[in-house]
């Protein structure tokens, strides 16, 4: 819970992984660095912080960042059978993310979703996913080239067309932006409460939001945490997220 002129405190969802056989909560530095750069303080949420503990933690936060991840959501969460052999799953993250999204939504606390986080929010609110987007004839192959270094993989991949009158359209009235989008899955059916913010050249939904009266929620399929002059939209997203977290903290501050 923000007090006075303190920086917003943002909860960050980690992955569950192993290093040398030991279970760990893992977050790429790029997600934390981008929040620091936008004048926010990130706090990694423990995997087992559920129920009353989670609600107690949310009392102390001003926003939530749902990060990207190498893993995919277990398709059981959108009533689909698995279509990919040896798919990397993260059952602990699924459990935390879906409870967290619903609790954050109930509070109308600001929330930003990135890549897997974008997909998690859609599924948690009732949407579905394509599990093998590159096998769908109408879509481009949105996966990264594994032979390229990360600096190339996370550079601009394609443009997105911004929907009129949406949140992203408010940035200088631009109609399209270059984004660094790389993923193997994507939105099939958008949850009914959400509105489309931007689409890829093949028509795939790449950003969505809630109407402003429902609180700040913006999620994108690309990676805005990779800040660059070549993609000004990414910095704008963090600026607006910070403003929403600051406002939420001020409205909910306790004496």
Active site residues: 115, 223, 225
For 87, counting Cβ atoms within 10 Å of its Cβ (0-12 exposed, 13-18 middle, 19+ buried), the class is middle
Strand 111-114 and strand 217-220: the pairing is parallel
Q: Phi/psi at 171 (nearest 5 deg)?
A: -80, 90
C-alpha R_g of the chain: 17
Rounded distance, CA 164 to CA 199, Å? 12
For 81, counting Cβ atoms within 10 Å of its Cβ (0-12 exposed, 13-18 middle, 19+ buried), the class is exposed
Those residues with Cβ within 8 angstroms of residue 89's Cβ, 6 or more apart along the chain or in another chain: 71, 72, 74
């Amino acid at each position: 819970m923000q007090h006075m002129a303190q920086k917003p405190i943002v909860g960050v969802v980690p992955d569950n992984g192993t290093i040398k056989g030991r279970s760990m909560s893992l977050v790429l530095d790029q997600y934390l660095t981008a929040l620091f750069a936008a004048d926010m303080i990130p706090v990694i949420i423990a995997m087992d912080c559920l129920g009353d503990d989670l609600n107690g933690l949310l009392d102390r936060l001003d926003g939530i960042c749902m990060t990207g991840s190498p893993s995919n959501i277990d398709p059981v969460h959108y009533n689909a059978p698995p279509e990919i052999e040896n798919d990397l799953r993260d059952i602990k993250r699924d459990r935390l993310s879906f409870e967290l999204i619903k609790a954050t939504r109930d509070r109308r606390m600001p929330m930003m979703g990135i890549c897997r986080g974008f997909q998690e929010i859609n599924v948690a609110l009732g949407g579905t996913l394509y599990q093998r987007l590159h096998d769908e004839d109408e879509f481009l192959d949105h996966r990264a080239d594994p032979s390229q270094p990360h600096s190339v993989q996370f550079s601009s991949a394609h443009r997105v067309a911004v929907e009129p009158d949406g949140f992203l359209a408010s940035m200088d009235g631009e109609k399209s932006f270059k984004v660094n989008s790389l993923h193997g899955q994507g939105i099939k059916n958008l949850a009914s409460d959400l509105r489309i913010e931007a689409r890829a050249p093949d028509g795939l939904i790449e950003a969505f939001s809630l109407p402003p009266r429902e609180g700040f929620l913006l999620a994108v399929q690309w990676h805005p945490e990779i800040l660059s002059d070549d993609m000004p939209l990414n910095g704008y997203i963090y600026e607006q997220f910070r403003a929403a977290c600051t406002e939420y903290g001020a409205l909910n501050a306790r004496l």
